[in-house]
Amino acid sequence: MSRLALLFLLSMSAPAHAAFLHLCPAASAPGGALSAKALGPGGKELRFVVTGAATLPGCRSLDLGAAQVEALHVLGPTATPTTTILLQGDDKDGRFAVSEQTLVPDGGGNEPAAPEPMPLRTNLLAAMQVRPYGVEERVQARLDRGRLRIDCRAGARPAGVLLTGPWTIPRLRASLKATYSGKGRFAWQAADAAQAARESALGMGQISAGAGTASLLLPAGLDRTNWRHFALACPAAGGTLALDALTLEPDVPVVAPRSTWIWDRSAWLERGDELLDWAVRERLGELFIVVQLEEGRVKDPDALAAFVRHARRRGIGISAVEGDPHMVLPLERAATAARARAYAAYNAAAEPAARLRGIQFDIEPYLLPEHVLPAARLDGEYVATLAALREAAGDMPLEFVVPFWWGGRQEVLDALARHADAVSVMDYRTDPGQILRFAVPFLDWGATNGKRVRIALEAGPLPLETQRRYLRTQDGGAGDMLLFTVEDQQVLVLLRQPMAHPRAAPYRLVDTRRIDGSATTFHKDKDALRALLPRLEADFGAWPGFAGIALHEIR
pLDDT digits (tens, 9 = 90+) for 262-291: 999 999 999 999 999 999 999 999 999 999
| CA distance linking residue 190 with residue 162, whole number of Å | 9
| CA distance linking residue 516 with residue 511, whole number of Å | 16
Nearest to 455 by CA among 418, 525, 402, 415: 402
| CA distance linking residue 18 with residue 16, whole number of Å | 6
The count of C-alpha atoms lying within 13 angstroms of the C-alpha of 364, restricted to the half-sphere facing its C-beta, is: 11
C-alpha 317: how far from chain center: 26
- Supply the pLDDT for residue 112: 57
- Supply the pLDDT for residue 344: 98
CB 509 within 8 A of CB 470: yes
At residue 551 the predicted structure's pLDDT band, cuts being 50, 70 and 90, is: very high
Mean pLDDT of 50-56: 95
Which 3 state secondary structure label does DSSP give 474? coil
Is residue 497 over pLDDT 90?
yes
Mean pLDDT of 61-77: 92
| CA distance linking residue 151 with residue 2, whole number of Å | 103
Tell me, what DSSP letter sits at residue 292? -
Beta strands in 398-488 (DSSP E): 398-403, 422-426, 452-458, 465-472, 479-486
Handedness of CA 36, 39, 41, 43 (dihedral sign): positive
Average pLDDT, the chain: 93
| CA distance linking residue 61 with residue 163, whole number of Å | 64
- Supply the pLDDT for residue 298: 97
| CA distance linking residue 168 with residue 2, whole number of Å | 82
- Supply the pLDDT for residue 13: 38
Write the pLDDT tens digit of every residue in 419-471. Answer: 999 999 999 999 999 999 999 999 999 999 999 999 999 999 998 899 999 99
More confident site: 4 or 283: 283
Per-residue buried b or exposed e for 52-64, using 16+ beta carbons within 10 Å of the residue's own CB: eeeebeebebbeb
Sequence-separated (6 or more) residues with CB below 8 Å from residue 444: 117, 170, 171, 225, 543
Sequence-separated (6 or more) residues with CB below 8 Å from residue 133: 139, 158, 159, 160, 161, 162, 231
- Supply the pLDDT for residue 209: 81
Write the pLDDT tens digit of every residue in 306-323. Answer: 999 999 999 999 999 999
pTM, 2 dp:
0.86
Nearest to 88 by CA among 433, 426, 397, 468: 468
- Supply the pLDDT for residue 113: 66
Task: Lowest mean pLDDT of 40-44, 78-82, 149-153, 351-355, name the range.
Answer: 40-44
Percent of the chain with pLDDT over 90: 84
Angle at the Cα of 317 (from 363 to 252), degrees rounded to 5? 95
- Supply the pLDDT for residue 516: 87
Write the pLDDT tens digit of every residue in 217-265. Answer: 999 999 999 999 999 999 999 999 999 999 999 999 999 999 999 999 9
- Supply the pLDDT for residue 430: 97
Nearest to 387 by CA among 345, 328, 441: 328
3-state per-residue secondary structure call for 28-95:
HCCCCCEEEEEECHHHCEEEEEEECCCCCCCCEEEEEECCCEEEEEECCCCCCCCCEEEEEEEEECCE
Sequence-separated (6 or more) residues with CB below 8 Å from residue 425: 402, 403, 404, 438, 439, 442, 453, 454, 455, 456
Nearest to 202 by CA among 182, 178, 226, 230: 230
Mean pLDDT of 516-545: 95
At residue 17 the predicted structure's pLDDT band, cuts being 50, 70 and 90, is: low
| CA distance linking residue 405 with residue 424, whole number of Å | 13
Which 3 state secondary structure label does DSSP give 464? coil
At residue 11 the predicted structure's pLDDT band, cuts being 50, 70 and 90, is: very low
Per-residue buried b or exposed e for 348-368, using 16+ beta carbons within 10 Å of the residue's own CB: eebeeebbbbbbbbbbbbeeb
Is residue 135 over pLDDT 80?
yes
CB 471 within 8 A of CB 81: no
Torsion angles phi and psi, residue 206, rounded to 5: -135, 155
| CA distance linking residue 96 with residue 454, whole number of Å | 36
Percent of the chain with pLDDT over 70: 96
| CA distance linking residue 178 with residue 245, whole number of Å | 6
At residue 111 the predicted structure's pLDDT band, cuts being 50, 70 and 90, is: low
